[in-house]
Amino acid sequence: MTPSISKGFRAAAMAALAAIVFSPSPLLARVFSPDSFTLDNGMQVVVVSNHRAPVVTHMVWYRSGAMDEMPGRTGAAHLLEHLMFKGTEAHPDGVFSQIVARNGGRENAFTSQDFTGYFQSVAADRLELMMELESDRMTNLMMSQEDIDTEREVVREERRSRIENEPGSRLNEQATAAFFMNHPYGNPVIGWDHEIQALTREDMMEFYRTWYAPNNAILVVVGDVTVDQVRPLAEKYYGVIPARDLPPRVEWREPPAAAAQRITLADPQVRQPSWSRRYRAPSYVYGDAEHAYPLEILADILGGGPTSRIYRSLVVEQKVAAAAGAWYNPTSRGPSSFGFYGTPLPGGDIQAVETAMEAEVEKLLRDGVTEEEVQRAIARLQADAIFARDSLQAPAQVIGGAMVIGMSLEEIEAWPDRIGAVTADAVNAAARAVLASEAAMTTLLLPKDDKSKGDG
């Protein structure tokens, strides 16, 4: 297992959070009945008891991610995630992971625009050991220049393999950079390569000392424990770490978009073209947040699987697409997006996909959704939440991911009432507010003949 989050884990985790976990997260929070308390140094602790198996997940979330990097220092949050595994005086390089493995556990970490997280899943009687290890590196991390140089090259290779050598990832990176005109979400989480190369030890220590503090962290423990067992351990290991003065958060705001954008990437590696379109949208805590819950319902109606409007129309009835759908994730500190995607049938016309998708949006804006569609979507979202009930990681992902963007447990637990109260009128109002804009971004990923091979 690599210390940093793997591509597969990142994709699986983010898909779970966005598609299943984050959408119905507050329902899960109520189902799991979390207990919570705050240490004297400001660190928030949440405990979800699940006694079905003698195991626990111990997850620490920091309210700092790529969007908190200094200008010109992109990639610092992600590189620090790597360096967190390099060791402390008490647990030198590699010892942390060796101890977790020796005790039958597994670990990983993840970085996003909004947060950075670290977790271990172990037997319940090893929880104290995990707290000892994690609290130690919260404040005592050692990073030599050699460590930084080594991990910098690991990150650069990660960037080459996952972005620069993947046409779809390259296109998405370019599109995201253009989509956000003023917000740091336009920078890639992994960082721009020339800025990764320029990161210094002073940059890394400054980011670490600024943001890795107990009063900027949330601890979520899920599994075969009780809050009475967790509290004294949290106080023993995390409670003794002094709070730090945190810098004021920059209130990043996007200016209104005034023009449509179209970005095309043609590459010899592409075998099947694809199309997408994204619109600027609010989140739970940014912009016109009253539209967030209706937009969740709308995304399910339009793109929630093989019975959704878009799939049924483009794939089943018109047969112009091999795949088609919609996306929306309201769980972010900053602005979000509402989008559509489609892939033509082999040998098919990508323009036909675009035309059909535009017709579906026009139909939606003209005729709206029905109350029956809304009620079915509500039922599906709530049913999805129930399937995750027995998971040892889902509650930690759900609660931590919501709290780290500024939502309280009370707000999280209010989700069933709020999503259940969404009406067709509210969904239609949200659709008009977001999808009626002509300032959307369209992306096309196209095949390209490789002329470098010559004629033989």
What pLDDT digit, counting tens, does each position of 94-111 carry? Answer: 899 999 999 999 999 999
Question: How confident is the model over 192-243, as pLDDT tens digits?
Answer: 999 999 999 999 999 999 999 999 999 999 999 999 999 999 999 999 999 9
Q: Kindly tell me the number of DSSP H helices and DSSP E strands found in the chain.
A: 18, 11
Candidates 112, 30, 123, 49; CA nearest to 385 is: 30
Is the pLDDT at 24 greater than 50? The verdict is: no
Task: Dump the DSSP string for 175-233.
Answer: HHHHH-SSSGGGS-TT--HHHHHH--HHHHHHHHHHH-SGGGEEEEEEES--HHHHHHH
Query: How far from the centroid of its chain's Cα atoms is residue 34's Cα?
Result: 22
Tell me the domains of the chain and their CATH numbers.
Answer: 7-237 (3.30.830.10), 261-453 (3.30.830.10)
Instruction: Report in angstroms the alpha-carbon separations of 394 from 7, 55, 80, 309, 331.
Output: 19, 14, 25, 28, 15
Q: pLDDT at position 391, please?
A: 79
Question: How confident is the model over 288-306, as pLDDT tens digits?
Answer: 999 999 999 999 999 988 9
Q: pLDDT at position 381, please?
A: 87
* Catalytic, out of 81, 158, 195, 373: 81
Share of the chain above pLDDT 70, in %: 90
Q: Predicted confidence band at 451 (pLDDT cuts at 50, 70, 90)?
A: very low
Is the pLDDT at 26 greater than 50? The verdict is: no
The tokens of 211 are what?
A: 């943001």
Question: How confident is the model over 397-413, as pLDDT tens digits?
Answer: 989 999 999 999 888 87
Q: Predicted confidence band at 382 (pLDDT cuts at 50, 70, 90)?
A: confident
Question: How confident is the model over 181-194, as pLDDT tens digits?
Answer: 999 999 999 999 99
Please compute, for residue 269, the number of CA atoms within 13 A of its CA located in the half-sphere on the CB side.
9
The answer to whether residues 346 and 272 touch, using CB atoms and an 8 Å cutoff, is yes
Mean pLDDT, range 42-47, rounded to an integer = 98
23-37, 248-262, 273-287, 405-419: least confident range: 23-37
Share of the chain above pLDDT 90, in %: 83
Tell me whether residue 434 is exposed, middle or buried, using C-beta atoms within 10 angstroms of its C-beta: 0 to 12, 13 to 18, 19 or more. buried
* Cβ count within 10 A of residue 400: 25
Please compute, for residue 446, the number of CA atoms within 13 A of its CA located in the half-sphere on the CB side.
11
Is the pLDDT at 454 greater than 80? The verdict is: no
In this predicted model, which residue has the larger pLDDT, 16 or 62?
Answer: 62
Mean pLDDT, range 356-385, rounded to an integer = 93
What is the overall mean pLDDT for the chain? Answer: 91
Distance (Å, whole) CA 444 – CA 456:
30
Angle, to 10 degrees, between the axis of helix 424-435 and the axis of helix 350-367? Answer: 130
Distance (Å, whole) CA 114 – CA 297:
24
Q: What is the DSSP letter of 137?
A: H
Q: pLDDT at position 388, please?
A: 60
Is the pLDDT at 313 greater than 50? The verdict is: yes
Helix (H) or strand (E) holding 92: none
Q: Predicted confidence band at 31 (pLDDT cuts at 50, 70, 90)?
A: low
Question: How confident is the model over 119-153, as pLDDT tens digits?
Answer: 999 999 999 999 999 999 999 999 999 999 999 99
Q: pLDDT at position 6, please?
A: 37
Positive or negative torsion for Cα 356, 361, 366, 372: positive
Q: Is 81 a catalytic residue?
A: yes
Is the pLDDT at 286 greater than 70? The verdict is: yes
